[in-house]
Amino acid sequence: MPYLSPNIRRETLVRAEERDSLLEAPQTDISAVAIAPREVDWLMTSLVFLFPAIGGLLFGYDIGATSGALVSITSQQTSGTDWYSLSPFKSGLVVSSSLFGALAGSVGAFFLGDKLGRRRELMLAACLYGAAAVLLFFAPSYPLLLTGRVMYGLGIGFAMHAAPAYIAETASASVRGLLISLKEGFIVGGILLGYLASALWVGDTGGWRYMYGAALPPALIVFAGMAWLPESPRWLLLSGASREQAERAVRRAWGSSGSDSQAIQQEVSNMLQDSPTSAPGGLAALFSGRNVKPLLIGSSLMLFQQITGQPSVLYYAAKIFKDAGFASDSDATRVSVVLGFFKLVMTGVAVATVDSVGRRPLLLGGVAGLVLSLLALSGAQTLVKGDFATWVSVVGLLSYTAAYQVTLPHTG
């Protein structure tokens, strides 16, 4: 054993004692110190989410309301017009005109969105929603009806661009994912509300006017709410605003939990760090190298969401049920309410299971379910008759909705 001087031996014993005392001392939860999550002001966070989300709800509401409005407009008893006898092409234009408007609105949002800002873009969408609701309520002719539908679609295009961006850029990071998922639930909830409005007014003369006009109060709420809320702090930084302006926006958005100046400064610093100073490669970079495969997969899933026919089924739900054997308009629209409620429930199931089951298994199983459901619907319309055909149509449409809702909206 090598010789150790008394001083060295004394230092060694002291260090050993210090080590033992540290090991015996109560251990601190390092994760609690390192993470120290900020408390969330749930009232302010709910408002930051609610007003933009109502913009998405109005998109869903249009789907459900149009399902019943189409039945009301084309009925001699309930249309309240002398132009109720619409050809299939003209009926289709009542549905598709809002989609044309939404496409135009999306293109407009691409060019104007970053100039307007998320807040003013949502206020513009609210104005378009409200003006369209008024025009549709008073529309004296078919051309003005289509004009109102296109105007409403423009509102959809701007709202669906700005709402998710505002929520993602303004809400606290700890609840951001939850709120984005809830936004999908608001859209589906809007569909259910539209079906409820259809069931409520489908038997009234001019009931379609009330179905469309009911969108005005929510549109006014969106406008007032967005006029009160702060601008997106991330957009402020991207538009050249000062750091102080962004910090003020964060402080307002965080509500009572915005008193932590250090946390606010860190949040803005993270935004500055994540903000792109340039777009390397530009648009051409999407179509080259390793970006091609993800682009093709993502675009294919988006295309598949549309060509499955799900939007058309929702728009024509009441008419499908009526053709399937529910003779009265009220019966057909009431069954549509069941469809809307079922869709909302399956949205909750999808959100709860998508991470545990996995997106690929859900997608494969969902596509198989879509195919079988469409075969059942086709057979109910062509091969079987009577009450059996009616209920096969109901089951087929419900299973079709379930298969779609648990897969495509959550795998794209």
With beta carbons less than 8 A apart as the criterion, state whether 271 and 233 touch: yes
CA distances from 299 to 3, 39, 269, 293, 316 (A): 75, 38, 33, 10, 26
209-223, 235-249, 260-274 — which is least confidently predicted?
260-274
The residue type of 114 is D
State how far Cα 11 lies from the chain centre.
66
Please tell me whether residue 379 adopts helix, strand or coil conformation.
Answer: helix
pLDDT in tens, 271-329: 777 665 444 555 676 677 777 888 887 788 777 777 777 778 888 888 888 877 787 88
Q: Which of these, 327, 319, 331, 337, lies nearest to 398 by C-alpha position?
A: 337
Q: Which helix (H) or strand (E) holds 238?
A: helix 233-238
With beta carbons less than 8 A apart as the criterion, state whether 165 and 36 touch: no
Q: Which of these, 73, 229, 38, lies nearest to 148 by C-alpha position?
A: 73
**pLDDT range class, residue 68, cuts 50, 70, 90:** very high
> Regarding predicted confidence, which is higher, 46 or 171?
46
With beta carbons less than 8 A apart as the criterion, state whether 145 and 98 touch: no
CA distances from 197 to 65, 203, 208, 396 (A): 6, 11, 9, 24
Q: What integer pLDDT is reported at residue 97 of this predicted model?
A: 95
pLDDT in tens, 122-178: 999 999 999 999 999 999 999 999 999 999 999 999 999 999 989 888 877 777 777
The residue type of 181 is S
pTM metric for this prediction: 0.82
Q: What integer pLDDT is reported at residue 25 of this predicted model?
A: 43
Residue 266 confidence (pLDDT) above 90: no
Mean local confidence (pLDDT), 366-370: 85
The residue type of 332 is A
43: Cβ–Cβ under 8 A, 6 or more apart, which residues?
A: 255
pLDDT in tens, 225-260: 999 999 888 888 888 887 888 888 888 887 776 666
Q: What is the C-alpha to C-alpha distance for residues 130 and 230, in angstroms, rounded to an integer?
A: 22
Percent pLDDT > 90 in the chain is 38
Q: What integer pLDDT is reported at residue 259 of this predicted model?
A: 65
- Position of tokens 């002291």? 14
329: Cβ–Cβ under 8 A, 6 or more apart, which residues?
A: 68, 71, 72, 75, 78, 202, 203, 318, 322
311: Cβ–Cβ under 8 A, 6 or more apart, which residues?
A: 63, 99
215: Cβ–Cβ under 8 A, 6 or more apart, which residues?
A: 58, 61, 62, 65, 129, 130, 132, 133, 152
Burial class (CB in 10 A: 0-12, 13-18, 19+), 53: buried
Q: Which string of DSSP letters, residue by residue, matches 155-219?
A: HHHHHHHHHHHHHHHHS-TTTHHHHHHHHHHHHHHHHHHHHHHHHHHTTSTTHHHHHHHTTHHHH
**pLDDT range class, residue 270, cuts 50, 70, 90:** confident
29-33, 57-61, 262-266, 376-380 — which is least confidently predicted?
29-33
> Regarding predicted confidence, which is higher, 332 or 327?
332
Q: Taking the CB of residue 139, how many other CB atoms lie within 10 A of it?
A: 19
Radius of gyration of the chain (CA): 28
Q: What is the C-alpha to C-alpha distance for residues 314 and 94, in angstroms, rounded to an integer?
A: 14
Residue 13 confidence (pLDDT) above 50: no
Residue 397 confidence (pLDDT) above 90: no
Q: Which of these, 130, 119, 124, lies nearest to 105 by C-alpha position?
A: 124
